[in-house]
A = this chain, B = another copy of it.
Amino acid sequence: MTASLSPTAPLSPTARSTIRRGARRARTDRAELYAVLDAGLICHLGVVLGDAPVVLPTAYGRIDDTLYLHGSTGAGTLRAAATGAPVCVTVTHVDGVVYARSVFHFSMNYRSAVVHGRARIVDDADERLAGLRAVTQHVAPGSWDHARLPNRKELAATAVLALDLDEASVKVRTGPPVDDDEDVAAGGRWAGVVPTRTVFDVPQPCPLLPPDTPAPPHVAAR
């Protein structure tokens, strides 16, 4: 695991993690990278298979400056990522649809983090458990201490990958549309933002639970 950098350390952009389009939307604090990653439920993992990109949704977790991914040892994308080939992990939150007065200026409010690098397969037993814990706690906080932990057979079937967060970019758009002056002056067209957000609904207990089993606090709190 990489030692944690200061949350205010710059993201140390390389050429490909330097945002060129919409550079005013680029964020450069490590704390903002953490915030975007920690607020997500899933990431989109990109690998190259043959000469083609493959992008699949997957769970992840973070410990300091390391992102952990897990999956079946049989999954093609995980296997490809585990060879040390380049990967890209992207986490996106859509915060709103930006309605402009002109079609050209329609946009989205969003927060996105893009991490480039080469993943390493985690072999060390302690780090494997720590990585799996990070993924579980990320997706379902409190669950590592509630659920049965993985046994030897389950661990053998699970690949754990680590990706260092040293090449990453963060982009954030907020606020109202940016329209041309003439369109604002012309009037007659609505403009603004329709905010979007992800909500958690009432937990649905497994039908195999005894009737009226209450959801424990770590579930009910969502």
Give the contacting residue for A94; candidates B42, B72, B101, B143; CB below 8 A. Answer: B42
Inter-chain contact B44/A92, CB cutoff 8 Å: yes
Given contacts A16-B54, A108-B139, contact A208 B194 (CB under 8 A): no
Residues of B within 8 A of A144 (CB): 103
Q: Is A90 an interface residue (CB 8 A)?
A: yes
Residues of B within 8 A of A45 (CB): 55
Given contacts A106-B143, A108-B42, A176-B204, contact A16 B219 (CB under 8 A): no
Q: Shortest distance in angstroms between A146's beta carbon and chain B's nearest beta carbon?
A: 6
- Of the stretches A5-13, A24-32, A120-128, A209-217, the one at the interface is A209-217
Inter-chain contact A183/B41, CB cutoff 8 Å: no
Given contacts A46-B46, A106-B136, A176-B207, contact A100 B147 (CB under 8 A): yes
Given contacts A87-B53, A104-B154, A114-B55, contact A196 B201 (CB under 8 A): yes
Q: Is A177 an interface residue (CB 8 A)?
A: yes
As for how many copies of this chain the complex holds, the number is 2
Give the contacting residue for A198; candidates B140, B158, B197, B215; CB below 8 A. Answer: B197
Inter-chain contact A59/B108, CB cutoff 8 Å: yes
Residues of B within 8 A of A200 (CB): 97, 194-196
Since A20-B76, A176-B206, A193-B204 are in contact, a sample of 18 more A-B pairs with Cβ atoms closer than 8 Å, ordered by chain A residue number, is A16-B49, A21-B76, A42-B94, A46-B88, A48-B51, A52-B87, A53-B53, A53-B88, A54-B114, A55-B88, A55-B89, A96-B204, A99-B143, A100-B147, A103-B150, A106-B136, A140-B194, A190-B215
15 A–B pairs (Cβ distance < 8 Å), ordered by A:
A42-B92, A44-B90, A46-B55, A48-B48, A55-B114, A57-B92, A57-B94, A57-B112, A104-B154, A106-B143, A190-B205, A192-B219, A193-B206, A194-B200, A198-B199
